[in-house]
Amino acid sequence: MVYPATGGLMMAEASWPAAAQPVRVAFMETDDYKNRPYAPPRFILAQDGKIVLSAVGNSGWRERMWPRIAEITGTA
């Protein structure tokens, strides 16, 4: 039997390592998750256990996530 990956697996507790569980829980409380729970690909930037930014899709990575990572790491 084959179980194809689905968007629902992304937020399943078993899909996340124990150390990342607080990020999963915090993200599930955001409007971004509530409005588009299974939008792939999804990128989540967390710092100190808090969601800093969430972006969806390739353009979300390019236009929002990558610049924010560069800003936070001082590589912009």
Q: Is residue 2 part of a domain?
A: no
Q: Is residue 9 part of a domain?
A: no
Q: How far apart are CA 67 and CA 71, in angstroms?
A: 6
Count the neighbouring beta carbons within 10 Å of the beta carbon of residue 63.
12
Q: Is residue 8 part of a domain?
A: no
Q: How much is the average pLDDT of 3-10?
A: 72
Q: Is residue 45 part of a domain?
A: yes
Q: What is the pLDDT of residues 20-37, one digit of tens each?
A: 999 999 999 999 889 988
Query: What's the token pair of residue 66?
Result: 């990558």
Q: How many domains, the chain?
A: 1
Q: Is residue 24 part of a domain?
A: yes
Q: What is the pLDDT of residues 31-56, one digit of tens each?
A: 988 998 888 788 999 988 789 999 98
Query: For residue 68, is pLDDT > 90?
Result: yes
Q: Is residue 35 part of a domain?
A: yes
Range(s) of the domain holding residue 32:
16-73
What pLDDT is attached to residue 73?
93
